[in-house]
Amino acid sequence: MPTRYGQFCPVAKASEVLGERWTILIIREFLSGATRYRDLQRGLAQMSPTLLTKRLGQLTACGLIERRPASGRAHAEYHLTAAGRELRPVVDGLGKWGMRWARGEMRDEDLDVQALMLDVCRRLDRAALPARPAVIAFSFSRLAKFGRWWIVADPGRPAELCDYPPARTAHLQVQTDVRTMVEIWTGDAPLATAVREGRLRFEGEPAFTRTVASWLPLGRLAHVKRAAVQLRHR
């Protein structure tokens, strides 16, 4: 049963809708462009399919999302309603607050490579790529699972994230570890510094290696600086 606070306060009423575990992160994924169940699973890899299905049903029932047939696809898509879209400044505000006050030191269990690569694929600046179509391969050391990823950027289609090799040779190979890539993505480590220290390496066509900083932007909140004193995680 959803949490009930027994108060008329609008903060309490909003918390009754949004306070369930994973709910805000599901909304975050929709605001980032997810429409398909498998996209949600990649962005929320630590969430069980059973719980994801349950939460989608709850969000549909309360009117934050709607389920629509997808043209030419066997599976339906999910889309935010007007009420769901109006949560963007709320989620953005939470993200900025979290970047400033609640990051602390990243633990190994926080380094979700699937969420990282989905975000990288979404924010790839395709207009700045030196060639299109383009294939960019990522190799992460010391990962037992999901250590290899490919981004395929074809003209006229959304960039596609693959965890299996496409039937094309990659224009660029990016070799690093998850912690280094997350630190770059969050703005905690300059890309040039990671390259100089040997934690990030590129192999491939010179047109790609020379322009990485232009087509591989940082995370959306990387500009938010960490506060000197961080909140303690329980």
Instruction: Return d(Cα 111, Cα 97) in angstroms, integer.
Output: 20
Residue 195 has what pLDDT? 95
In a domain? residue 96: no
What pLDDT shows up at residue 69?
86
Same domain, 113 and 211: yes
Q: Does residue 229 sit within a domain?
A: no
| Model pLDDT, residue 157 | 85
Examine the domain organization and report whether 135 and 182 are in the same domain: yes
The confidence score (pLDDT) of residue 75 equals: 80
Task: Please check whether residue 225 lies inside any domain of the structure.
Answer: no
117: in domain: yes
User: Are residues 23 and 116 both part of a single domain?
Assistant: no
Relative to beta strand 201-204, strand 172-176 is antiparallel
Is 76 within the bounds of a domain?
A: yes
CATH of the domain at 116: 3.30.1050.10
Whole-model pTM: value is 0.89
Is residue 54 domain-resident?
Answer: yes
Total domain count, the chain? 2
Same domain, 76 and 113: no
Same domain, 82 and 123: no
Q: How far apart are CA 64 and CA 130, in angstroms?
A: 40
Q: Is residue 55 part of a domain?
A: yes
Phi, psi torsion values for 148, nearest 5 degrees: -125, 135
d(CA 116, CA 85): 23
Q: Minimal CA–CA distance to 34: which of 47, 16, 17?
A: 47
Output the pLDDT for position 234.
Answer: 64
Assess whether 141 and 75 both reside in one domain. no
Give yes or no for a cis peptide into 133 (omega within 30° of 0): yes
Q: What residue has token string 């009117």?
A: 63
Which residue is it, tokens 């993505």?
185
In a domain, 103, yes or no: no
Q: Looking at the structure, tell me whether residues 211 and 114 fall in a common domain.
A: yes
CATH number at residue 31: 1.10.10.10
| Domain enclosing residue 23, as ranges | 10-86
Identify whether residues 118 and 200 lie together within a single domain.
yes
Residues 128 and 184 in one domain: yes
Domain end point (choices 20, 52, 86)? 86
Over the chain (234 residues), what is each successive 10-residue block's mean pLDDT?
85 94 97 92 94 96 92 83 98 96 86 94 91 92 92 89 93 96 94 96 95 92 91 76
**Can you give the pLDDT at residue 121?**
95
Q: Given this model, what pLDDT does residue 44 score?
A: 95
| Whether residue 20 sits in one domain with residue 77 | yes
SS in 3 state form for the chain?
CCCCCCCCCHHHHHHHHHCCCCHHHHHHHHHCCCCCHHHHHHHCCCCCHHHHHHHHHHHHHHCCEEEECCCCCCCCEEEECHHHHCCHHHHHHHHHHHHHHHCCCCCHHHCCHHHHHHHHHHHCCHHHCCCCCEEEEEEECCCCCCCEEEEEECCCCCCEEECCCCCCCCCEEEEECHHHHHHHHCCCCCHHHHHHCCCCEEEECHHHHCCHHHHCCCCCCCCCCCCCCCCCCC
Q: Phi and psi (nearest 5°) for 220?
A: -60, -30
pLDDT of res. 1? 55
Q: Kindly give, in sequence order, each residue whose CB lies less than 8 Å from that of residue 14, ignoring residues fewer than 6 positions away.
A: none
119 and 60 within one domain: no
Is residue 64 within 8 Å of 84, Cβ to Cβ? yes
- Same-domain check for residues 69 and 118: no
pLDDT value of position 172 = 96
